[in-house]
């Protein structure tokens, strides 16, 4: 596990998981949100974003958090990864996650976001998360069909599974040190 994609709905816990996995493994964390957004919540144009992703993907090791499969950089990330971690959580878990995130981080820039993009209340974003399972999930399922036999797909349907996975990684790391 050297090049890991962490994907799923906003509010599912994927960014927290990706940062924790990075801390446990020493594999650098890359946030696609930080590569995509400019200060003031300005979107990067497609070519600029793709160039940033290309640079990140060329690195020998990474844990890359985010979806962005339709950006033109999705295939490159899939082809370069050895592991995909998918947070396939219910709508209620993801909605709770974003409400909690806003409550805790409102007005602050989260660690995985671009500078100048503080947490805010955004009703279009709420709708994106609310409709994620119907609109975005089928696109991810199609995206996963492009995985090769030598790539691993790890699926979590609740946060407890993700926590257990991180605990296993931590135990393996401790065992390999001794």
pLDDT in tens, 81-103: 999 999 999 999 999 999 999 99
* Alpha-carbon Rg for the chain in angstroms: 16
Across all residues in the chain, what is the average pLDDT?
A: 93
Q: Residue 58: which pLDDT band, with cuts at 50, 70 and 90?
A: very high
Within 26-145, residue ranges assigned H as helices are 32-36, 46-57, 74-80, 91-105, 123-130, 132-135, 137-144
Is the model more confident about 177 or about 34? 34
The pTM is what? 0.92
Within 91-136, residue ranges assigned H as helices are 91-105, 123-130, 132-135
As a whole number of angstroms, the distance between CA 19 and CA 116 comes to 20
At residue 174, does pLDDT exceed 90?
A: no
Q: Given the DSSP bridges, would you call strands 152-156 and 83-87 parallel, antiparallel or unpaired? A: parallel
As a whole number of angstroms, the distance between CA 111 and CA 108 comes to 9
Q: Residue 40: which pLDDT band, with cuts at 50, 70 and 90?
A: very high
pLDDT at 176: 76
Kind plus residue range of the DSSP H or E element containing 172 = helix 159-177
Longest Cα–Cα distance in the chain? 50
Rounded to 5°, angle at Cα 49 from 80 and 81: 10
What are the tens digits of pLDDT across the range 100-148?
999 999 999 998 888 888 999 999 999 999 999 999 999 999 999 999 9
> Could you tell me the domains of the chain?
3-158 (3.40.50.300)
Min mean pLDDT across 15-24, 69-78, 135-144 is at 69-78
């Amino acid at each position: 596990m050297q090049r890991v994609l962490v994907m799923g709905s906003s509010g599912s816990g994927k960014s927290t998981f990706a940062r924790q996995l990075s801390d446990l493994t020493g594999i650098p964390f890359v946030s696609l949100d930080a590569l995509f957004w400019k200060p003031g919540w300005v979107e990067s144009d497609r070519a600029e974003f793709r160039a940033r992703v290309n640079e990140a993907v060329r690195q020998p090791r990474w844990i890359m958090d985010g979806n962005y499969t339709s950006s033109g950089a999705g295939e490159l990330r899939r082809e370069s990864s050895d592991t995909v971690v998918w947070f396939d959580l219910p709508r209620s878990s993801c909605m709770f996650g974003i409400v909690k995130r806003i409550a805790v981080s409102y007005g602050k820039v989260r660690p995985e976001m671009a500078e100048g993009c503080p947490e805010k209340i955004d009703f279009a974003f709420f709708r994106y998360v609310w409709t994620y399972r119907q609109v975005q999930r089928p696109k991810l399922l199609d995206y996963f069909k492009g995985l090769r036999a030598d790539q691993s797909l790890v699926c979590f349907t609740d946060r407890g599974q993700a926590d257990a996975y991180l605990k296993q990684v931590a135990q393996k790391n401790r065992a390999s040190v001794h």
